[in-house]
Amino acid sequence: MLSKNADRLAKIWLWLSALVIILVLLSVLGYVFINGIGAISVSFLLDMPQNNWREGGIYPAIVGSLIVVFVALAFAAPVGVGTAMYLTEFRTEGLVTRIIRTSSDALNAVPSIVFGLFGLSLFVFYLGDYTGGPSLLSAGLTLGFMILPTIIRTSEVAMRNVPYAERMESFGMGASKLQTIRNIVLPGAVPGIATGLILSIGRAVGETAPIIFMVALNPTIPKSLFGSGNTLTTQLYYLSMEGISMKVAFGTALTLMLVILTLNAITRVFKKRLSRNLRRC
């Protein structure tokens, strides 16, 4: 039976393909863990770098990453959720929604290095007097632009998943549109929106190219939003590219990886709750 054998072989190949992918993931994770675990400790996370990063900790990069992510989210979360709300609750499908959605998709496709060039020319050269030039604020805003499409898309899906009937019920009881949004749509969409926000935090924390021209390898704690600082990713780039200290580079990589794994685990919890909610309806 030729077709029987072909079937069996093909299935072995399909199983293997999944196995290969698992192995690739495990080797990336394993590589980062094995090399980074020796470097990482509480003091590594909370100490200042010493001796041009060859010793000491990575505290400034952690603070820098927190700041840029905070700035990015402070911009993109309200704008993104607001856009999603406008698309789902205030506009019927048509030219306007199509334009908004297409620009959001296009923005999502822009290569990260192009965001870097854009951030450099807009925030550093054009608006430098207001942003402090190559500052954490400039970097954070650039990241905010970059994660905006993700937030729009995920929030829109979350709001659309709130059943139409529930809105109608609320209108039927005499509630206004705003009351309906506040009492029905937003509570129902919160798990989905939160998942999208965490996803975007993960992206913002992990991106390098968009902010590489705005942050330098800086061993001091950033003094303000308008000051310069560095982040986990940019530090990792400089340390490994210039071969300054692979030990600290791996420690930084593991720290970054742990952040990503934690965010991933949180979204998993949210997703579980989300599917439970959906089943209840």
Interface of this chain with other proteins, residues 227 to 246, rule: CB under 8 A:
233, 236-237, 240-241
**Among residues 78, 168, 223, 262, the one that binds other proteins under rule CB under 8 A:** 78
The helix (run of H) or strand (run of E) holding residue 93 is: none
Closest CB 50 distance from other proteins, rounded Å: 22
Site for other proteins in 45-74 (CB under 8 A): none
**Among residues 45, 63, 66, 110, the one that binds other proteins under rule CB under 8 A:** 110
Site for other proteins in 149-208 (CB under 8 A): 149, 152, 176-178, 199, 202, 205-208
Residue 224 or 246 with smaller CB distance to other proteins: 246
Separation of first and last alpha carbons in the chain: 49
Q: Rounded CA gap, 272 and 159, in Å?
A: 17
Contact (Cβ atoms closer than 8 angstroms) between residue 125 and residue 134: no
Residue 2 in the binding site for other proteins (CB under 8 A): yes
Residue 106 or 224 with smaller CB distance to other proteins: 106
For the CA atoms of 112, 114, 119, 120, the dihedral, rounded to the nearest 10 degrees, stands at 120
Residue 269 in the binding site for other proteins (CB under 8 A): no
Residue 177 or 223 with smaller CB distance to other proteins: 177
Closest CB 122 distance from other proteins, rounded Å: 6
Residue 10 or 224 with smaller CB distance to other proteins: 10
**Among residues 62, 67, 147, 148, the one that binds other proteins under rule CB under 8 A:** 148
**Among residues 34, 52, 105, 262, the one that binds other proteins under rule CB under 8 A:** 105
Report residue 40: phi and psi, to 5°: -85, 140
Coil, helix or strand at residue 49 = strand
Per-residue CA distances from 229 to 135, 138, 268, 273 (Å): 7, 11, 32, 38
Block residue for tokens 């089943």: 279
E strands, the chain, in order: 49-50, 55-56
Tokens of 239: 């340390």
Residue 78 or 224 with smaller CB distance to other proteins: 78
Site for other proteins in 201-230 (CB under 8 A): 202, 205-209, 212-213
Residue 78 or 223 with smaller CB distance to other proteins: 78
Q: What is the CA radius of gyration of the chain?
A: 23
Provide CB contacts within 8 A for 106, sequence distance 6+: none
Residue 223 or 233 with smaller CB distance to other proteins: 233
